[in-house]
Amino acid sequence: MKLNVRINGKDKSFRVGPEEVLLDVLRREGYTGVKRGCRKGDCGACAVLIDNELFNSCVLPAMSVAGKDVITIEGIGTPNALHVLQRTFLEEGAVQCGFCTPGMILAVKALLDRNEDPNETEIKEALDGNLCRCTGYVKIIKAVKKAARSMREVGE
């Protein structure tokens, strides 16, 4: 079947099987920043934004996103021009092995896009579907607060 979808602002068309999940399609098409973790919807490593809301692509039927806007980590900043979230995660040491980081960044982006000044409870709730087994979350939460401040200041 043909899947027409907008990924990171570009119209794309892929051949997909009706039984495929979005994660497998994205990785096959080169979006390898979308990580294959638990494949059960638990860990959030595969998280992407669909119409600006966070979803786990490992449990999402690929065809269900037909006609929608998908944002993967590849659509957030570039290696030479990091998004403020990516830069702040690095500055605050909120990245260790980095496997969970793409999903974390997208979860935080979804939060800050609708709430520019979240409190700590709101940050924890927004990240309740993203597991990190390295950093222990303290630095991640600190980075989110710092990024929120920066984004408010520059109106990003």
Partner 1 sequence: MEKKQKKYIFPETLAEASELLKGENVLMISGGTTFKFRNLKNFSRIVDISRVAPDSIKINDKEIILGSMVRIGRLLENKSLRELNCGILASAASNIASTPIRNQITLGGNLTMIYRWTDLPVSILVLAAEIRTVNGNESMTYTAEDFFASNPSRKLARGEIVKELIIPVHDNDYLLLFKTFNKTKGDFAAINMAAGYKLGDVFSDLRIAISAISNLPVRLKALERDLEGSRKDEKVVVDAIAKHLPNFKVSDFRYNSEYLNQVAKVMLKRLLLVEDREAEL
Q: Which residues of this protein are in contact with partner 1, per CB under 8 A?
A: 1, 17-19, 21, 39-42, 44, 47, 53-56, 58-61, 63-64, 66, 107, 125-129
Q: Strand 47-50's sheet: what is its strand order?
A: 10-15, 2-7, 69-71, 47-50, 53-56
Q: Which is nearer to partner 1, 63 or 85 (CB)?
A: 63
CB of 79 to partner 1, least distance (A): 26
CB of 71 to partner 1, least distance (A): 13
Q: Which is nearer to partner 1, 54 or 94 (CB)?
A: 54
Q: Which is nearer to partner 1, 29 or 91 (CB)?
A: 29
d(CA 120, CA 83): 22
d(CA 140, CA 127): 10
d(CA 101, CA 67): 27
CA distances from 46 to 18, 34, 49, 86, 126 (A): 19, 5, 10, 17, 15
CB of 125 to partner 1, least distance (A): 7
Q: Which is nearer to partner 1, 78 or 114 (CB)?
A: 114
Q: How far apart are the first and last CA of the chain?
A: 38
CB of 126 to partner 1, least distance (A): 6
Q: Which is nearer to partner 1, 93 or 122 (CB)?
A: 122
CB of 37 to partner 1, least distance (A): 12
